Amino acid sequence: MTTHLPEQIVQPAPASAHRPLSRPMLPSFAIRRGRLNPIALLGLLFVGSVGMVALFADVLAPVDPWSSVAKPFQPPSLAHPFGTDDLGRDVLAGVIHGSRTSLIVGLTVAGLSAGIGIALGSLAGYFGGGFDDALMRFTEFFQVIPRFFLALVAVALFEPSLLTITLVLGLTAWPMTTRLLRAQVLSVREREYVVAARALGASHLSILWRHILPNTIAPVVVHTSLMIGQAILTEASLAFLGLGDPNNISWGYLLNNAQPFLRLAWWLPLFPGLAIALAVLGFNLLGDGLNDTRLQENKTD
């Protein structure tokens, strides 16, 4: 007896339906094929520079950033290129070692929020129905919460540590990622290759992991790179207000320490502020560049 498979499985799908399965995820695809535009390359240069400084902070600044090494309020010189603060501490060492704290907070917050957003967004978009509606109402509740003021309250009530700041920011930054990925999943969950995989008996997890996420994750990568810069700015703002972790030096801590001496020592707020601007600008340029590259790839496909 001959068994006839459904026509949609027997007939080959159009080339456009198969193309997403063979296309690697952005940004590795764009980097390998040299399609990153100049904006993304400039952002990558800034981000890479900040990352190398944080990685080799002990080599670049072997001086303890908490120790007094010279007279207070020494202006920038060959011995101390960024000058010294009110306690005679080297500002350059503080900026270099502070890059670690700022990057750790930015990357951890972005990773935590992206993980939650990807999990919830993919499930909501894939299953739909009442589950999708309930999850979107839950997402909207978190979306209207003022994150910065919630972080202020949390840090004021609990110990002002990096863990508290990171958890508050990471656990409240996922709604946009959820909504973004949900919209992408809704657009591809009924395409031919997904329907074929479902008809062949693939599990929901396999369909999501192998067929849907690789074709919907690119916008989330772009959004996550922008989120890193936002997290760095938020942590610096909290530390500037005196609500940062007093046991970890950061760019925001340096700005807070410079507040009483803005007219006396111009270099105290200048260099930490430039470091924050460079890091945030780098991640923003990288995100915008990756987004432009993604849009260009969609046009060429």
Amino acid found at 129 = G
For 34-66+87-300, which CATH class?
mainly alpha
* Residue 249 token pair: 């030096």
Q: CA 220 to CA 226: how far, in whole Å?
A: 10
Tell me the domain boundaries of the chain: 34-66+87-300
List, for residues 233-278, the tens digit of each pLDDT value: 999 999 998 888 888 899 999 999 999 998 899 999 999 999 999 9
State if pTM tops 0.85: no
Report the chain's terminal Cα–Cα distance, integer Å: 43
Mean pLDDT, the chain, integer: 85
C-alpha–C-alpha distance, residues 23 and 33, integer Å: 12
Q: Is the predicted pLDDT of residue 23 greater than 80, yes or no?
A: no
| pLDDT score of 143 | 86
* pLDDT greater than 50 at residue 284: yes
Q: Which phi-psi region, left, alpha or beta, contains residue 73 (left: φ > 0; alpha: ψ -120 to 50)?
A: left
How far is 170 from 105, CA to CA, in rounded Å?
9
pLDDT of residue 300: 62
Sign of CA dihedral 17, 19, 24, 30: negative
Residue pLDDT, tens place only, 136-184: 999 998 888 888 888 888 888 887 788 888 999 999 899 999 999 999 9
Three-class SS of 43-69: HHHHHHHHHHHHHCHHHHCCCCCCCEC
Instruction: Evaluate if residue 227 carries a pLDDT over 90.
Output: yes
Position 105, amino acid: V
pLDDT digits (tens, 9 = 90+) for 105-125: 999 999 999 999 999 999 999
On whether the CB atoms of residues 256 and 245 are closer than 8 A, the answer is: no
**Could you tell me which of 241, 260, 276, 272 has the C-alpha nearest to residue 155?**
241
pLDDT in tens, 65-116: 999 999 999 999 999 999 999 999 999 999 999 999 999 999 999 999 999 9
